[in-house]
Structures are given as C-alpha cells and as structure tokens.
Amino acid sequence: MSKVYWIVFSKDQLWFSDQGKLPEESEILETLSSQENVRTIEDADGQYFKGVQLAAESLPKDWKLVHLRQAFEVLSANEYKVVCKLKELLHWDEEHQFCGKCAHKLDKLTDISKQCPNCGREYWPSPSPAMIVLVEKASEDGVKGHDEVLMIRTHSFPGSFHSLVAGYVESSETLEDTVEREVLEETGISIKNIRYVASQSWPFPFVQMIGFRAEYAGGSLRFQEEEIEKGGWFRRNNLPELPGRISLARKLIDQWLREGE
Ligand SMILES: [Zn+2]
C-alpha cells in the first residue's frame, strides 16, 4: 500500500510537517482524518493525496505554516499540480453548496462533481480564464540589450516583486481582446502582434492562467491608480524583483531574458 499524503490548507497557506514536507497519513491526528470536508485525489502514479481546509488550532504545534507562493518554490512539479487541484476543489466546494437553478443543497456526485437531488442538475468545477501578457518594446537606438519589458506591481500583490499585466476574460471577448483591453486599461498603451505562449493552473482562487506575448505599438505609460501601485519599462540589466519561479509570469520573463543572452 503506497503512502497517503495530506495537503492541509489554512486559507492561502499550506502546512508542512516538522520535517518540512507534506505530512503523511501516519502523522495526521485522528480528529483530522475524520473531518467531513476532506477531498481525495489520485495522481498519475497511483499516489493518493487528501486535502482539507482547517483552522490552525487543530494541528501539531511544531508544524510550519507556509504561504502557497513560498511552498511552490520547494514542491515538485507533480506536488504543485496536486496542491493546485485540491486547493481549487476545496474552494469550489465551499462556493458551490446550493443549486443555482432551484436553490436546493447539492449532493456529492463524484470526487470532483456535485448534483442537485431536487432538479438533477450537475455541477463540475471550472476555472475562470485569465490572461497574462509579457509586453516588449524594441530597442529605440538599435543597440542590443536596450529592448525593454513592461512590468507592474498591483496593490494586491504580496511581498515586493513586480509581475506582468493580467486580467479576467469578459463575456464575448476573444483571449486576444482581453489581452489588448487589459494592457490599455491598466497601462494606457496599445500593443500589437499578440501571440499565445503557455498556460498554467493558478489557485488564487481558481484560475486558468493563459500566457501571451505582445509588442508595444504606441502611447505613454499611464497606470490605472485603483489597480496598479507602480510599474515601468525595464531592461534585462535593470530588472525589479521577479515573481516566484513556479509562476507563468516568471516563465514568460525567463524566456524573454534568455533571448537576450
Ligand atoms: Zn436544483
């Protein structure tokens, strides 16, 4: 029998055992494993993971609470996937308790779905699509290394890093429309040559992040005050603090950095 690992959240934070790892079932208190809101998933290798949202008081005192963004720096790619999935499922569980059509309390249908016992309607979790874009500006004097990237810091970012412009898709928009609108709304500039690069599941709280690149087309930076704390154009040798390695933003930035080598 393979081990069962526990993913224990307190809001956006994750508990590591006193060993600094995801705790195994044998380390879990019985009161915890009998919780009602536990979700179990199996990864591609047949390894089981159980996830639960808990208040800090119910855990061993020597365990360590780590913000998910920091935890992502030490988790394996597989553990990242599992943690995201459980975080998103637990969030979805909490937000979808009643039928949107007839308001009855929903029953569990499968490990990842629910059904209304009154009208039969099924509910499956679906992430919100959000765009993130690396906007680059060609070197104005033609000198190699003088090209720049647009980076911003929103009021809601934790820590002190800068990242890329991002935003949610609105109804009737294409993904490219969203990218163009968000950049214009948040920074006042227009862009061209928008193209898809990569995507990533992002559990804050339940987002499918879709990454693009685009080129500066015109206008001057004028940041939307309610959303953006600060930002600007940066050269490779003068970058602000970057977002964590696991983030799609960082992957887009790293790709751009490598092109300048
Ligand atoms: Zn119903």
With a cut of 70, say whether residue 34 has pLDDT above it.
no
Class of residue 51 by CB neighbours under 10 A (exposed 0-12, middle 13-18, buried 19+): buried
Q: Where are the domains of the chain?
A: 4-95, 96-125, 128-259
pLDDT of res. 100:
96
Class of residue 90 by CB neighbours under 10 A (exposed 0-12, middle 13-18, buried 19+): buried
- 44 pLDDT band, cuts 50/70/90, is confident
- Higher local confidence (pLDDT), 160 or 28: 160
List, for residues 238-252, the tens digit of each pLDDT value: 999 999 888 999 999
List, for residues 58-112, the tens digit of each pLDDT value: 677 888 888 888 888 888 888 888 999 999 999 999 899 999 999 999 999 988 8
pLDDT of res. 30:
66
User: What's the rounded Cα separation, in Å, for the pair 30 and 9?
Assistant: 17
Mean of the per-residue pLDDT values for the chain?
91
List, for residues 2-27, the tens digit of each pLDDT value: 788 989 998 888 989 888 888 887 77
User: What's the rounded Cα separation, in Å, for the pair 61 and 11?
Assistant: 18
pLDDT of res. 29:
67
Question: How far is the centre of ligand 1, averaged over its atoms, from the C-alpha of 91 (Å)?
Answer: 20
Please name the residue that has the structure tokens 């992002």: 202
Question: How far is the centre of ligand 1, averaged over its atoms, from the C-alpha of 199 (Å)?
Answer: 33
Question: How far is the centre of ligand 1, averaged over its atoms, from the C-alpha of 127 (Å)?
Answer: 21
Question: How far is the centre of ligand 1, averaged over its atoms, from the C-alpha of 114 (Å)?
Answer: 11
pLDDT of res. 195:
97
Q: Residues 135-164: what's their mean pLDDT?
A: 92
- 152 pLDDT band, cuts 50/70/90, is very high
Question: How far is the centre of ligand 1, averaged over its atoms, from the C-alpha of 96 (Å)?
Answer: 12
Question: How far is the centre of ligand 1, averaged over its atoms, from the C-alpha of 104 (Å)?
Answer: 5
User: Helices in 97-215 by DSSP H: which ranges?
Assistant: 175-187
Question: How far is the centre of ligand 1, averaged over its atoms, from the C-alpha of 42 (Å)?
Answer: 29
Does domain 128-259 correspond to CATH entry 3.90.79.10? yes
Question: How far is the centre of ligand 1, averaged over its atoms, from the C-alpha of 99 (Å)?
Answer: 5
DSSP 163: B
Q: Residues 196-225: what's their mean pLDDT?
A: 95
Pick the most confident of 52-61, 77-86, 149-158.
149-158
With a cut of 80, say whether residue 57 has pLDDT above it.
no
Question: How far is the centre of ligand 1, averaged over its atoms, from the C-alpha of 106 (Å)?
Answer: 8
From the centroid of its chain, how far is CA 140? 34
DSSP H or E stretch at residue 74:
helix 68-74
pLDDT of res. 3:
80
